[in-house]
């Protein structure tokens, strides 16, 4: 029992000795980080085995176990001296079959000013540790479901040059992440929100990161500039890529026939630019996924995002959530679903059921296809796959389960492959040939089932391959792994 606690000769700005020990591997304690006991949750120190991190020692984690309402946990730093630049890096892991909108944030708080979200990730990021670096409160929010958020190996250092290494991922929630105006462009892009967009402009109403009107993204806002104007933003100078390249991933929004053009360039130190990717015209009323492999193994480089204004409408190009990851990008459409749905998006059907990410045993089969890990093995080496449980159109006593592969060209939809019934609880390979298509097309996976009996419909490891057979025009084979099972 304690009573009559008093603090004497303490000033509001007093900072304990050792408060600058913010670099921390959490092997013994939390270093100079301390818990916010006014939060609804506390970070816990635990150990585990993860291939991506050296040492396989302790890390900090919070889980959704037994949570029924949204809750948050915070690690705080003591105030740091002003007048110099701090660079922060850390490893993080956000994973769970139904983790929903759970998020991890890095927040800066200056005396007398509101908090600023400098970095943020929400939703499952795959069952692996990821690294982030950028230029201090660490907050994690959970909203129930199944999953966990973990952090480890925080490194905080002073920047002698006044700047930090180039940021390899950005949500635009707190800053431009080092992106700056390209000197050869006619205008710059603006960091904005859906709530602050002009009333007569095209969407989106929400950003991609948070899915809210308060979330930030980058907008070219070209309507205020003459037709033909070019607006470009470029990253800081990046280190040379590995020999096999790196993958740039981002989300873009281009609505309306007059939205203009978006291009991605790789720029050398001599200002030579090589166009890697481009889209033009209306791309629909939703965020789309873009990715391109960056090759520059011998020289440093910069990535340039350029928008071109083609007519006088109030449409504009927007981008959000860009990241640069190790290794080359997989072909367009290909996806192992480890870190999300790649370029695949749900099409609203009105029945309230969608394809969702899941790990082995959470909703469906005990393992994914890629590694075939049985249930009970450590979660970190499990891949994730998509699984659907749709209600049938009619209520019937008989059991029905169907999986269709469809080809959509403009308003025309063609069934390329279909399967019905119970085919066991083992993964099987499916393959269809799209054929020679002279225009843009989409491939759809459509599944339906009644809910009278338990069962699974799942897909994994979708792969698009361009190939040319002797004496035949180029085709588009699509392979995938599927499972239709009635328990």
More confident residue, 256 or 137: 256
Q: What are the angstrom distances between the C-alpha of 197 and each of 128, 181, 190, 307, 318?
A: 36, 21, 11, 18, 12
User: Is residue 412 scored above 60 in pLDDT?
Assistant: yes
Both tokens of residue 284?
């629909």
Q: How confident is the model at residue 265 (pLDDT cuts 50, 70, 90)?
A: very high
Count CB neighbours of 326 within 10 A. Answer: 12
Bridge partners, residue 92, by sequence: 130, 151
The single residue listed with the structure tokens 């949204």 is 70
Of the listed ranges 102-111, 132-141, 269-278, 339-348, the least confidently predicted one is 132-141
Tell me if domain 34-165 and domain 180-326 are identical in fold: yes
Rounded to whole angstroms, how far apart are CA atoms 458 and 337? 12
CATH topology classification for 180-326: Jelly Rolls (2.60.120)
Task: Give the DSSP letter string of 410-432.
Answer: TTEEEEEEEEES---SS-EEEEE
CB distance 389 to 451 below 8 Å: yes
Asked if 89 contacts 154 with a C-beta cutoff of 8 angstroms, the reply is yes
Structure tokens at 84: 């110099």
**Residue 349: per-residue pLDDT:** 65
Of 51-60, 211-220, 362-371, which has the strongest mean pLDDT?
211-220
Structural element, H or E, at residue 138: strand 137-142
| pLDDT exceeds cutoff 90 at 274 | yes
Size (the chain), residues: 487
Find out if CATH 3.40.50.800 is the number for domain 34-165: no
Predicted TM-score (pTM) of the model is 0.68
Residue 230 belongs to what H/E stretch? strand 230-234
> What is the arithmetic mean of pLDDT over 143-149?
70
User: What pLDDT was estimated at residue 235?
Assistant: 93
User: Which of 24-33, 251-260, 261-270, 437-446 is predicted with the least confidence, judged by mean pLDDT?
Assistant: 437-446
Higher confidence at residue 57 or residue 53?
Answer: 57
Residue ranges per domain, the chain? 34-165, 180-326, 356-486
Nearest to 466 by CA among 426, 436, 429: 436
């Amino acid at each position: 029992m304690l009573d009559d606690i008093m603090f004497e000769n303490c000033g509001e700005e007093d900072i304990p000795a050792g408060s600058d020990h913010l670099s921390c591997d959490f092997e013994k304690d939390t270093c100079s980080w301390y818990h916010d006991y006014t939060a609804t949750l506390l970070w816990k120190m635990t150990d585990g085995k993860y291939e991506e991190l050296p040492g396989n020692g302790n890390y900090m984690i919070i889980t959704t176990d037994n949570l029924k309402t949204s809750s948050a946990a915070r690690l705080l730093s003591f105030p740091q001296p002003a007048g110099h630049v701090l660079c922060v890096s850390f490893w993080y892991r956000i994973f769970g079959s139904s983790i929903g909108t759970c998020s991890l944030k890095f927040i800066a708080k200056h005396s007398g000013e509101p908090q600023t979200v400098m970095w943020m990730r929400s939703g499952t990021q795959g069952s692996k540790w990821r690294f982030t670096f950028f230029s201090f409160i660490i907050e994690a929010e959970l909203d129930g479901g199944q999953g966990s958020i973990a952090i480890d190996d925080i490194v905080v250092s002073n920047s002698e040059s006044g700047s930090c290494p180039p940021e390899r991922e950005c949500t635009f929630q707190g800053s431009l992440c080092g992106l700056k105006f390209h000197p050869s462009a006619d205008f710059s892009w603006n960091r904005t929100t859906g709530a602050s967009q002009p009333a007569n402009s095209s969407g989106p109403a929400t950003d991609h990161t948070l899915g809210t009107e308060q979330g930030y993204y980058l907008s070219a806002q070209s309507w205020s500039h003459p037709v033909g104007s070019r607006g470009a933003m470029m990253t800081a100078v990046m280190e040379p890529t590995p020999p096999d390249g790196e993958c740039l991933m981002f989300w873009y929004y281009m609505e309306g026939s007059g939205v203009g053009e978006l291009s991605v360039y790789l720029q050398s130190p001599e200002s030579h630019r090589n166009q890697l990717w481009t889209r033009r015209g209306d791309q629909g009323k939703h965020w789309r996924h873009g990715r391109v492999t960056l090759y520059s193994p011998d020289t440093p480089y910069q990535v340039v995002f350029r928008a071109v204004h083609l007519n006088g409408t109030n449409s504009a190009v927007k981008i959000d959530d860009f990241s640069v990851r190790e290794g080359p990008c997989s072909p367009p459409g290909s996806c192992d679903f480890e870190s999300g749905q790649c370029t695949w998006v749900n099409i609203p059907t009105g029945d309230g059921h969608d394809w969702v990410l899941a790990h082995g045993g959470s909703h469906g089969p005990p393992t994914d296809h890629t590694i075939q890990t049985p249930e009970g093995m450590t979660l970190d080496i499990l891949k994730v796959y998509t699984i659907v449980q749709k209600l049938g159109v009619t209520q019937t006593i008989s059991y029905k389960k169907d999986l269709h592969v469809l080809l959509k060209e403009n308003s025309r939809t063609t069934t390329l492959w279909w399967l019905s019934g119970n085919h066991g609880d083992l993964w099987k390979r499916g393959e269809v040939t799209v054929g020679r298509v002279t225009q843009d097309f989409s491939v759809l996976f459509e599944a339906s089932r009644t809910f009278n009996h338990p069962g699974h419909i799942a897909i994994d490891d979708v792969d698009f391959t361009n190939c040319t057979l002797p004496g035949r025009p180029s085709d588009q084979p699509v392979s995938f792994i599927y499972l239709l099972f009635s328990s």
